[in-house]
Amino acid sequence: MTLDEKTVNELAAHLEQAELKAQDVVKITDAHPDMDFDDAYAIQYAIRKAKLARGQKLAGLKMGLTSHAKMTQMGVETPIYGFLMDYMARGDGEEIRVDELIHPKVEPEIAFVTKADLHGPGCHIGDVLAATDFVVPAMEVIDSRYRDFKFDLKSVIADNTSSSRFVAGGQARDPGELDLRTLGVVLEKNGEVVATGAGAAVLGHPANSVAMLANMLGARGEHIPSGTFIMTGAGTEAVAVAKGDTVTARFQDLGSVSVRFV
Ligand code: 0L1
Ligand code: MG
């Protein structure tokens, strides 16, 4: 750590205000070029603590930058994780208000729900599949608080990996009945195909993303509790959306999820 507790809390408040007011800011490493990854996660955890202290509930966890498409799009090389709160959730077919966001983009993702605790280090795909209750199709709405999505890895970790909204729906399926590597997804915006992908784009298999999360948490002395909802990351690039857009992610074998931006 290079930042003291006061600075961590000030940066957390700065980024959370940007989120809540839907006002973009410049990346925080501009003013704090020496901050490290521990500082970045400390800021993210301080944002989470502030939301929990206000009575909001943790809805799940997410992995980000898990595909080569996303890493290339963002110019980074390492996956990252963040958290999801109750107020970020929307049901399948519901509306998302654009005026609450800065510059939203959507990503189709496969979500896992666990039925047993997962501990790292050493967590692997077999552990994850044995501990998975079901998988569901989902869509993440990311909304970086940084101007023009211009950030580095530490800044985006601190900004809760651009978490903003998410939708889950479709069919809950046992992952043992599916080949999640070859499971395809088609993302449509206003009826036009805008991106396509397959499960293997996410670290070779979406369950590897959950294993990596368990191992990253394990390095901090934390684990994934039973019953956790986990978004595994996008197998496609993120697609920008605007007021009036309807977006549908159609997943092979899992059904679809839709959302309208109003
Ligand atoms: O969920 C993601 O992969 C997004 C991670 C943060 C980077 C971005 O805002 O695109
Ligand atoms: Mg994502």
The verdict on residue 254 lying in a domain is yes
The verdict on residue 91 lying in a domain is yes
The verdict on residue 48 lying in a domain is no
State in Å: Cα 135 to ligand 1 middle: 21
Work out the angle between the directed axes of helices 5-21 and 37-53 (0-180°, nearest 10): 60
The verdict on residue 28 lying in a domain is no
pLDDT in tens, 191-232: 999 999 999 999 999 999 999 999 999 999 999 999 999 999
The verdict on residue 1 lying in a domain is no
pLDDT at 68: 80
DSSP H helical ranges for 54-109: 68-74
- Domain with residue 139: its CATH number is 3.90.850.10
Residue 185: domain span: 57-261
The verdict on residue 16 lying in a domain is no
Query: Would you say 78 and 210 are in contact if contact means Cβ atoms under 8 Å apart?
Result: no
State in Å: Cα 65 to ligand 2 middle: 7
The verdict on residue 7 lying in a domain is no
CB contact set of 31 (below 8 Å; sequence gap of 6+): none
Whole-structure pTM value: 0.97
The verdict on residue 17 lying in a domain is no
Q: How far is CA 159 from CA 18, 104, 162, 164, in A?
A: 10, 14, 6, 10
Ligand 1: which atom is nearest the Cα of residue 149? 9
In eight-state DSSP terms, residue 27 is -
Res. 27 pLDDT band, cuts 50 70 90:
very high
Paired tokens of 144:
């970086």
pLDDT in tens, 246-257: 999 999 999 999
Domain count for the chain, please give it.
1
Residue nearest to atom 2 of ligand 1 (CA): 64
Mutate to test the pocket of ligand 1, among 71, 80, 84, 209 (most ligand atoms within 8 A of CB): 80
Helix (H) or strand (E) holding 248: strand 246-251
Mutate to test the pocket of ligand 1, among 156, 212, 231 (most ligand atoms within 8 A of CB): 156
